[in-house]
Amino acid sequence: MQIFDCPFCGERDETEFHFVSEAGKVRPEPACQVSADTWAAYLHVKQNVKGAGREVWRHLSCGELFVMQRDTTSMVVIAVEPLRKSRP
């Protein structure tokens, strides 16, 4: 079991978090005009970086999204940063 650090709530059990996607993916625009293959690649193709990668996670308890930099081979969390700077 791992402990993840929500930038808004602090350390919590990993079961409170949900993986959203790799960070840095750019949505093809205009979405209604891109090909089905381009759209499928945007939704489903991942880089699956070996080593340090950036991922978007959601803390289910507070609902906030944040970026977690994590080593995918050791599962060690390197850094976390909020997607927005403060809560409303």
The footprint of Zn ion (CB under 5 A) covers 6, 8-9, 59, 62
Cα(21)–Cα(23) distance, integer angstroms: 6
Report the nearest approach of Zn ion to the CB of residue 18 (Å): 12
- The tokens for 50 are 């070996």
| Rounded distance between C-alpha atoms, residue 29 and residue 82, angstroms | 25
| Least distance to Zn ion, CB of residue 16, Å | 8
In the complex, least distance from residue 6 CB atom to Zn ion, rounded to whole angstroms? 3
3 state SS of 36:
helix
